[in-house]
Structure formats: C-alpha cells, structure tokens
C-alpha cells in the first residue's frame, strides 16, 4: 500500500461501504510513474466464512501496475441487522448497519 498515491490515508466515509469500485477523489496520482489515470481492480477475491461475506482486492495503477491500496469489504447478518464494513487506504473506512425488518426498532420513537 502506498501513502504517496492518496491525499488522505483511510478517510472517514461515514456509512458509504463500497463492495466494488474506487474513491477517485482521494487519488492524487501514482507515486511510481506520476500518472493519474484509471485505477484497476486486481486480485479480487470473495470468501464466505460462517455467514460473513468478505471481498478483498487491490487498487493498481493502470499504467505501471503499482499497488495503490488493498480494499476489504465485509457483509454479514447479525440478529436482525445487515452489517457492512469497508477498510481501504484509498476508499476509506466506513461501517453501516441496516435493519432487515420493515421498521427499524432503533428508529422507533417512544410515545410515553
């Protein structure tokens, strides 16, 4: 992973968890060849372990194939919630939790 290729290492992305793609606003240029072009997704791997889906891949320079960052995305269902996480030097870090129920119990307002 290369901190010279990004504006900010592991920016906080709130609840935006990317399973695929690249956060190009954080990409400065390749530290190896000094070109700013599209970012390739290489070495993509998807595993399912104990009900947890884990997607990993590398962001690489299209011109010289320098590895910019390693991306990890996870998805799981815990109790009644879908849990998402993302960790990547280029794309950032994020977590999200979404209820599988029509009405999220955490969003219910107490009437009394």
| Secondary structure (3-state) at 51 | coil
> For residue 110, is it within any domain?
no
| Residues 6 or more apart whose Cβ sits within 8 Å of residue 83 | 74, 75, 76, 77, 95, 96, 97
Hey, which residues does 104 pair with through a beta bridge?
Answer: none
Provide the edge-to-edge strand list for the sheet that holds 67-78: 39-49, 52-61, 67-78, 81-88, 92-99
Question: What is residue 104's predicted lDDT score, i.e. its pLDDT?
Answer: 60
> How many distinct structural domains can be found in the chain?
1
Q: Is residue 111 in some structural domain? A: no
Query: 34-68: per-residue pLDDT in tens?
Result: 999 889 999 999 999 888 999 999 999 999 999 99
Asked if the model's pLDDT at residue 102 lies above 70, the reply is: no
Does residue 105 lie in a domain region? no
Q: 93: domain CATH number?
A: 2.60.40.4240
* Predicted confidence band of residue 109 (pLDDT cuts 50, 70, 90): low
Locate the DSSP E strands across 16-106.
Answer: 39-49, 52-61, 67-78, 81-88, 92-99
In a domain, 67, yes or no: yes
Task: Give residue-wise pLDDT tens across range 71-99.
Answer: 999 999 888 888 999 999 999 999 998 87
**What pLDDT shows up at residue 28?**
94
Residue 52: domain span: 3-99
Residue 30 lies in a domain: yes
> Is 74 within the bounds of a domain?
yes
The per-residue pLDDT for range 2-22, each reduced to its tens digit, is: 788 999 999 999 999 988 989
């Amino acid at each position: 992973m290369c901190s010279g290729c990004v504006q900010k290492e592991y920016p906080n992305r709130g609840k935006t968890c990317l399973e695929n793609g690249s956060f190009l606003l954080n990409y400065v240029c390749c530290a190896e060849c000094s070109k700013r072009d599209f970012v390739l997704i290489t070495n993509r791997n998807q595993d399912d372990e104990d009900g947890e889906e884990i997607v990993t891949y590398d962001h690489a320079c299209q011109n010289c194939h320098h590895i910019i960052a390693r991306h990890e995305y996870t998805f799981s269902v815990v109790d009644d919630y879908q849990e998402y996480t993302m960790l990547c030097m280029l794309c950032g870090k994020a977590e999200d939790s979404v209820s599988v129920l029509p009405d999220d119990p955490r969003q219910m307002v107490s009437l009394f």
